[in-house]
Amino acid sequence: MADFILSRTQAATLEELNASRPVKVIAVTGGKGGVGKTTVSANLAVSIAAQGRDVMLVDADLGLANVDVLLGLHTRFHLGHVVRGDCTLEDAIVTGPHGVQVVPAASGVRSMANLSPAEHAGIIRAFSELYHSVEVLVVDTAAGLHDSVLTFSQAAHHVLVVVCDEPASITDAYGLIKVLSRERGVRRFQILANQTRRSGEGPALYEKILRVCDRFLDVSLEFAGSVPYDDYLRRAVQRQTPVVDAYPASVSSLALKNLAVKADKWAVPQGARGHLEFFVERMVGAQMGPSTVLQ
């Protein structure tokens, strides 16, 4: 398939614009599967886009992807095709609710779940070549401690850890934070309590994780909020529609919209941090200034 082509003048104009607008990157992860990570990612991206931001949502659960299914999207290409060279990253992008630009991944493709660290790095670098206008990038990672989870989380500016009040979820969330901090140098984490069933459960869950992290790890945690258990959320998933659109007045929808308001205020680091990052060239460009970049 032919590559995405722009005139030299258009490319220079877009390069200058992109260089002056660094992208805020949020990795949504959780350690354990089944905590609602993908649902949070999709609704967070849609809610931020509804605030007028240019948002891109990446399905980084490379072998068991389902963001496109959750949003009811029909896709022709996915990241597997990009890795194989069958298409460009631009070709794989589809438009979701509120204009969210969605980058789907493969489902049931074993080779995608076993990509090498170099291939993960190649995917991250490919985003720097996009000409799309992007202000916020939401990355839905896989579960567990696979290299892809660690690499994509490290390459983000903010790591949102989704956790439920059950022993396995808490243990796995702590394990993920431990590995990311000790092996990848990630020091700041946002904690989201999901599927809470009573008042005060979210803050109490956050305090549990905070106490053990303060005792054994050199990290900084912040409480991102709680998303209550809500049957309307289950119905929205069945309808393949974001709950923030399908049932905007439901308790889970209100909580996710509140999370989006908070996330929209999270700061973007000033300049590159010295390791592999999404859109790192835009970070450098913003630090240097567009006139310097184009020289």
pLDDT in tens, 33-52: 999 999 999 999 999 999 99
The answer to whether residue 251 is domain-embedded is yes
The answer to whether residue 74 is domain-embedded is yes
In sequence order, which residues have a C-beta less than 8 Å from that of residue 119 and are 6 or more positions away?
83
The answer to whether residue 191 is domain-embedded is yes
Task: Work out the average pLDDT over 56-80.
Answer: 95
Task: Work out the average pLDDT over 236-242.
Answer: 97
d(CA 110, CA 112): 5
Which residue range(s) make up the domain with 156? 24-134+144-266
pLDDT at residue 23, rounded to an integer: 93
d(CA 191, CA 188): 10
pLDDT in tens, 250-264: 999 999 999 999 999
**Helices H, strands E: what count in the chain?**
15, 8
* DSSP notation for 235-276: HHHHHTS-HHHHSTTSHHHHHHHHHHHHHHHSPPPSS--SS-
The answer to whether residue 294 is domain-embedded is no
Which backbone phi and psi does 128 adopt, to 5 degrees?
-70, -15
Answer yes or no: is pLDDT of 10 > 70: no
Task: Work out the average pLDDT over 3-26.
Answer: 60
What pTM value is reported for the model?
0.90
pLDDT at residue 294, rounded to an integer: 38
Total tally of structural domains belonging to the chain: 1
Q: Which residues on neighbouring strands pair with residue 26, listed in sequence order?
A: 138, 158
pLDDT at residue 5, rounded to an integer: 46
Between 2 and 227, name the one with better pLDDT.
227
pLDDT at residue 111, rounded to an integer: 87
Torsion, CA 124, CA 98, CA 162, CA 279, rounded to 10: 20
The answer to whether residue 17 is domain-embedded is no
The answer to whether residue 197 is domain-embedded is yes
| Contact (Cβ atoms closer than 8 angstroms) between residue 98 and residue 19 | no
d(CA 56, CA 221): 25
pLDDT at residue 292, rounded to an integer: 43
How would you write 85-120 as a 3-class SS string? CCCCHHHHCEECHHHCEEECCCECCHHHHCCCHHHH
pLDDT at residue 2, rounded to an integer: 38
The answer to whether residue 242 is domain-embedded is yes
pLDDT in tens, 75-113: 999 999 999 999 999 999 999 999 999 999 988 888 898
d(CA 83, CA 126): 10
Task: Work out the average pLDDT over 14-40.
Answer: 83
The answer to whether residue 295 is domain-embedded is no
Mean of the per-residue pLDDT values of the chain: 90
User: Domain with 30 in it: what CATH number?
Assistant: 3.40.50.300
